[in-house]
Amino acid sequence: MRERSPRSWFFLFFFASGFYSLIYEVVWLRLAMAQFGVNTALAALFLSAFMAGLGLGSYLVGRRYGGTPGPGPASAVRYYAVAEAAVAIFGAAVPSLLSFGHFFLNGAGSSWNSSSYYFASGAWILGALIVPCLCMGAAVPLAVAALRASFPETSRGAFSALYLANVLGAAFGALASAFVFIELFGFQGTLRLATGLNAATALAIAGLSLRVERAPRRSRPPGTAVSAPAARGRQILGQLFLTGCAGMALEVIWSRVFSAYLGTFVYTFAGILSLYLAATFGGAQAYRAWAADAARRRKIPWLLIGLAGAATLLWIDPRLPLSLRSIGAGLTRLSLSVVPFCAALGFVTPMLVDEYSEGDPRRVGTAYAVNVLGAIAGPVLAGFVLLPFLRERWALLVVLSPFFILGARPSARASLLPLLAALLLAVVTRDFEDGWPRKTVRRDATATVVAVDADQYRNKRLFINGIGTTTLSPTTKVMVHLPLLLSTRPPSSGLVICFGMGTSFRSMMSWGIATTVVELVPSVPKMIGIFHKGGPELLRSPSARVVVDDGRRFLERSREFFDVIVVDPPPPEEAAGSSLLYSREFYALARRRLTPGGILQQWHMGEDPATLASVARALRQEFAYVRVFGAIEGRGFHFLASDSPIADVSASVLARRLPPKAERDLLEWGPYGDARQQLGAILSREIPLEELLRPYPSVPALDDDRPFNEYFFLRREVARG
C-alpha cells in the first residue's frame, strides 16, 4: 500500500477542519437561538461574530508569521497544530458561555429593551465565539506557512488547494450534521463528536511535525515571493471583498425567495448550504486544473458572473413548467440559480488570493480576512438594508451591480448585452407575490409578508416568505375560548404567542381582558385590517399590547403572569426552529408565567403521530394535568396544560360563562349556530393523553437538545425500509 505523502496530509487536515467547523457553526447557532431568541437579528449577530473571528484571526496571524524566512518547517506545523487544538479546547466552552450569558442577561429581566438586549446578546455571543473563531481563522495562514516552509516549491498555489479541501469538508459537514448526527446524538452529542474529531486532527498535525522535522529542509526557489503591484493589490482586495459580500448576500436573498418552493425545514437549509459549498468546490477544482498551465492569462468574466446571478429571476418565475409543490422541482430551480454563480465564485476567489499572495502566508491572511469581511457585510446589506425596502428582484440586481460595473467596457458594445439581459429578466419575469391580484405586501428585515384579500373569508391568505401560515378558521377561536372557559377563576389577562391573522388575539379581546400578543415578524400585525374589520381599532385599545419579539425570549424576560397562554406555532410542525416552542424547556418557562390555576393552550397539527407523542410527553413531564381535544374541524389537537386540575364541566355550564361579545365571536364562523352545541361538539372530541402516547413508548419527550420534530430523516427512512 502506497504511503501518504506529508504534503497530502495538509489537505486531509483542511477537509476535516471544514467538516467539524461547519458542525460547530450549525450547533452553536442553534444553541444561541435557544438562549437569546429565534430572530433574524440574532442570526445576523451570530454570523457576524463567527465570521469576524475567522477574518481577524487570519489577518493577525498572517501578519505575524508571514514574510521570509518565516518559521522552520517543524515549528510551522506545530503552530498549526496548536491553533487546531485551541479550537477544540475553547470551542468546548462555548455552550457553557452561552448558557451563562443567558442567565446573566435575563437576570436584569425587563430592564432591557429590545435594542439594548440585541446589543448585549450580540456582544456576549461575540465574546463566547471570538477565541475559537480566531483560532479557526489563524489556521489558514499557519497551514500555508507550514506548507511554504516544508514544500517551498509548491506553496505558490497553496491557498487554493487548502480552500478546495476546506470547502469540500464543509459541504459534507452540513449534510452529516443535519441528516445524521443531530438526529442520532442531539446537539450536545454532535458537539462532542466534532470536538473529538477536532482534537484528533490537532494530534495528527502534531505527529506530522515530527516527520517533517526529520525530513531534509529544502530551500525556497528564487522568484516565488514576488507579489502583485500595490495598485493591483488594492484592486484584488476590493474584488475579494465583493465576492465574499455578494455570495453571502445572495444566500440571504435565495433563502427568502426559494422558501415558497422548498419550505422551511432544516434539511432545506442544509441542502441550500451544501449545494452552495459543492458548487464552490467545483469552481475551485476547475481553477486548480486551469491554473496548472502558468501561461494562461487571468482574465475574469465579471459580466457573465453577474448574469449567472441574475438568472435567479428566471428560475423563481412560477410560470415555469415546474411543479410549485414538488421538492424535486424546487431543488431544480434552486440548483439552476446557485450552481453557476457559486461555481464562478469558487473559481475566482482562490485565483484572486493566489495572485495577491504568491504563497506568502502574511498576504494569504490579509486576502482571506478581506474576503471574510465581505462575507460579514453581505447578510447585513441584504437583510437590513435592501430587503426591508426593495422587492427581492431589485435587491438581487443591486448586489450584482458591481459585477456589471467591473466588466463594463465603454469601447465594447458587447459588454452591454449581459447588463441588458439582466434588466430584461427583471422586467419580464414574475415571482410568487405576482400571482395574487388583491394583495398587500410588506417587507421588513425578518420577512416578506403577503396578505391576500378575498370576498369569502375562507379564501383570505397570509404568506410569510411564500409559506402559507394560517387561514380564518373557527379552530383559532377555540384555541382561546376553551382555556378561558375552563379557568378556575374569572380571567383578567392572557398571552397569545404568534399573531398570524389576528384571530386568536381578536377572540381574547372579546373577553374584555388585558391581552398581550407576541409576534416575531414586525409586518404581520399591521395586516390585521385585511382579515378583520375593526382590527386596527383593537390594536389601539388600551387593553391590547403587541410585542415584536421571539415568543420564548419574551417569556424569559417577562416578569408578568397570565391566566391563559395560547401558543400556535406557524406551520409546518417540522419547521426549522419550531421545536423551541414545543420543548420541555419552553413549557417550563410558560408554567412559571402562569397564575395559580392558569392554563396553557398548545396547538399542534398532529400530521406526524410520533411527533405528536413527543410533544404530549414533554407537556406531561412539565405539567401535572394535561387534557387533549381534537379540532372542531377535524384536523389538529388542542392541548390544555395546568398545574391545577382542569375542570370537567358540561357544555351548558360553559355556555353560561361566555360574555355576550365572546359568544358572538365564538359563533361567527360556525359550524354551529348555538354556543351550547358548539361547545358540546368541542368537548365531545376529547382524547385521553395515553391514547397518543401508547403507540410510541420509545419516542422521547421533545427537548432543546433533541428536537424530535425537526430532525426526522433517519427514522422516516428506516420506517420506509
* pLDDT tens, residue by residue, 103-159: 888 765 555 566 677 778 888 998 999 999 999 999 888 888 877 776 665 555 666
Give the whole-angstrom CA distance, residue 626 versus residue 640. 6
Is the distance from CB of 94 to CB of 398 less than 8 angstroms?
A: no
- Residue 668 has φ and ψ, to the nearest 5°, of -55, -45
Residues of the chain with CATH 3.40.50.150: 476-720
CATH 1.20.1250: which residues of the chain? 1-216, 229-435
Is residue 540's pLDDT more than 60?
yes
Whole-prediction pTM value? 0.89
Nearest alpha carbon to residue 486 among 680, 648, 678, 667: 648
Q: What percent of the chain clears pLDDT 70, i.e. is strictly above it? A: 89
Instruction: Give residue 216's pLDDT.
Output: 53
CB 518 within 8 Å of CB 560: no
Q: What is the mean pLDDT of the chain?
A: 87
- pLDDT tens digit sequence for 18-70: 999 999 999 999 999 888 877 777 777 788 888 888 888 888 887 776 544 45
Q: How far apart are CA 192 and CA 311, in angstroms?
A: 41
Whether the CA torsion 266, 268, 272, 277 is positive or negative: it is positive
Mean pLDDT of 309-328: 82
- Contact of 687 with 629, CB cutoff 8 Å: yes
3-state SS class at 246: helix
**Could you tell me how many helices (H) and strands (E) the chain has, helices first?**
28, 12
Q: Is the pLDDT confidence value at 2 over 70?
A: no
CATH code for the domain defined by 229-435: 1.20.1250
Determine the CATH number of domain 476-720: 3.40.50.150
Helix axes 675-683, 474-485, angle to 10 degrees: 90
C-alpha grid cell for residue 694?
401508547
Q: Cβ(139)–Cβ(87) under 8 Å?
A: yes
- Third-level CATH fold of 1-216: Growth Hormone; Chain: A; (1.20.1250)
Instruction: Please tell me which of 115-124, 219-228, 415-424, 533-542 the model is most confident about, judged by mean pLDDT.
Output: 533-542
Contact 652, 676 (CB under 8 A): yes
In the numeric block, which cell numbers belong to residue 151?
514544500
Grid cell 441542502 is found at 271
* pLDDT for residue 221: 47
How far is Cα 463 from Cα 713, in angstroms, rounded to an integer?
26
pLDDT in tens, 273-294: 888 899 999 998 888 888 766 5
**577 vs 666: which has the higher pLDDT:** 666
